[in-house]
Chains A and B, each alone.
Chain A
Amino acid sequence: MAVGPRKDSAAVFAVIESVLLPYVGRTMASTAAAAHCRRLGIEGARFDGSQIGQLLGKLSMGLVILLGEAKTRSVVSSIQSAIDALEDAP
């Protein structure tokens, strides 16, 4: 069941990449989200709120190992805010 407004998946990936870039570099920033989506079985041109939540949860689990809990919270919160600010996909 779709939860919350849908967002364009390419735009979601772009947001995640731009926020992660300073920490994990371009290669990892551009591949991490897609890799997590594959593992979670999330695909399609649009993501709903639940799928975005799963994806950010998975990203958090990896980031805490590199950045610790406090910094991860702040990074994921930045991603969530930027995703919320995206226009809803039709």
Chain B
Amino acid sequence: MSHRPLASTLVWVATSLLVVFFFGQSLAPSASLYTHMLSPHTVDLIGSIPKVILPGLTVLVAWGVARKFEPGNPARLAWSLFAVGMFGLFVGQVVLLYYIFVGRGDVFPSIGDPFFVAGCVGVVVALVAFVRAYATSGFPIGPRRQLWAIGLAAAALGALLVVPLLRPVMAAPAPAVEKALNLAYPALDFLMFIPAVLLAWITLRFRGGKVALVWTALLAGILFTAAGDILFGYFSNLGQKGLAALIDAVYILAYGCLAASVFHQRELLAA
């Protein structure tokens, strides 16, 4: 069956509308749309429901994509691992949505956190599997030594970016579990960053093609997830409540990019 690009287009449109909505709230929190026309609970739901639907769709479509690759194909393993990782993020978001539904607002730490951590680990492993799959494709993606150099440079750059951002989080007075999680998420993002940079480098060689579209969306999703995690660390540990709408916008953008990437891959596989 052929998949027209309708699904990926819908994901991009829905994501864009939601991102504009929450960027608007972060810029003008007292606008009547957010204070009178919609209740705070409704705004919370508008922020939370897409964060469940988008990863949920990503899991289903990524799993379907993985099944379309024949057994033994390294892409099948990579897409399966990606689906499993995204499942962790999906379950974590379901837990957070439950808290919103019962009126408890943002709960942190919560029972969702082990799922988020496991999900992030799954995504890191999937990204490494994607790099390995590319490396076995035989396409001229660059000498192995060059890829190692880029990986090491990415590790150094990631450390330079993440360590200063984490200093205020480490210094802030917060319960141990909360602080550990606020350090764990950016640390996992750092681990994601290294294979993501390698994939970005490889993707540059495919620029202009449909393959690059899949990878650009996926890597943008990883980047925005990392940005969301760092913002969330500031939000929860440093009490910067004004960041809530921006965090919603960034996470929705991240999940939208990840969902769009799997839909683009499904379209690419359609014979």
Residues in A whose Cβ lies below 8 Å from that of B70: 64, 68-69
Q: Which residues of B contact A20 (CB under 8 A)?
A: 209
A28 pairs with B139, CB closer than 8 A: yes
Bound CA–CA A71/B2 (angstroms): 11
| Bound complex: CA A58 to CA B270 (Å) | 22
B209 and A25 contacting across the interface, CB-CB below 8 Å = yes
A35 on interface, CB distance cutoff 8 Å: yes
A69 & B209 in contact (Cβ 8 Å cutoff):
no
Given the interface pairs A68-B69, A69-B70, the reply to whether A22 lies near B269 with Cβ below 8 Å is: no
Chain A interface residue count, CB cutoff 8 Å, equals 29
Tell me which residues from 1 to 38 in chain A have a Cβ below 8 Å from any Cβ of chain B: 20-29, 31-32, 35-36
Once the chains bind, are A25 and B211 in contact (CB under 8 Å)? yes
**Which residues of B lie under 8 Å from residue A63 when comparing CB positions?**
137
Q: Nearest Cβ distance between residue A65 and chain B, in whole angstroms?
A: 4
Cα distance, A71 to B3, chains bound together (Å) = 13
Residue A81 interfacial (CB < 8 Å): no
Question: In the complex, A17 Cα to B179 Cα: how many Å?
Answer: 53
A26, B208: Cβ atoms closer than 8 Å: yes
Query: Can you pick out 15 interface pairs between chain A and chain B where the beta carbons lie within 8 Å of each other?
Result: A25-B205, A25-B206, A25-B208, A25-B209, A25-B212, A35-B138, A35-B140, A58-B138, A61-B137, A65-B134, A66-B137, A67-B269, A68-B68, A68-B69, A70-B68
Task: List 10 tightest A-B contacts by C-beta distance, closest first.
Answer: A25-B209, A25-B208, A62-B137, A70-B271, A35-B140, A62-B138, A24-B209, A65-B137, A68-B269, A65-B75
Give chain B's interface residues, CB within 8 Å of chain A. 68-70, 73-75, 133-134, 136-140, 205-212, 268-271
